[in-house]
Amino acid sequence: MRNLFQIEGKNILFFEAESNYTTIHLRNGKKILSSFTLARYQEHFPGFLRINRKHLLNPEYVLSVEPKQFRISMKDNRRFIISRRRINVCII
């Protein structure tokens, strides 16, 4: 098993939490399922944006932030909802 922390941040679009597991969405379209929690990845990738309970985004791939709509758009056309308590983290 390879060490998941050896994946370069520039190759990661975002992390998505599901209970005690995390799916890592890579730039090349692949997904990796990990038994680490999202909080653990947040510690290892401090520059990433924790926008809600389920998502940790790579700011390099953020296209726009709409604070009034609590929405964030990515360069690959995905959209995410920002939790109200985390909106200040997302205003770039």
> What's the confidence (pLDDT) of residue 67?
84
Distances (CA, A) of 4 to 18, 59, 69, 79, 80: 17, 19, 34, 25, 24
> What's the confidence (pLDDT) of residue 47?
93
Reply yes or no on whether the pLDDT at 1 is more than 50.
no
Closest by CA position to 13, among listed 60, 82, 54, 53 = 60
Closest by CA position to 76, among listed 37, 12, 27, 30 = 27
What's the DSSP call for residue 7? Answer: S
For the residues 75-87, what does the mean pLDDT come to? Answer: 92
- pLDDT tens digits for 12-37? 999 999 988 999 999 999 999 999 99
- pLDDT tens digits for 55-78? 999 999 999 998 888 999 999 999
Q: What counts of helices (H) and strands (E) characterise the chain?
A: 2, 8
pLDDT bracket for residue 86 (50, 70, 90): confident
Distance CA 17, CA 32 (A): 12
> Is pLDDT larger for residue 59 or for residue 86?
59
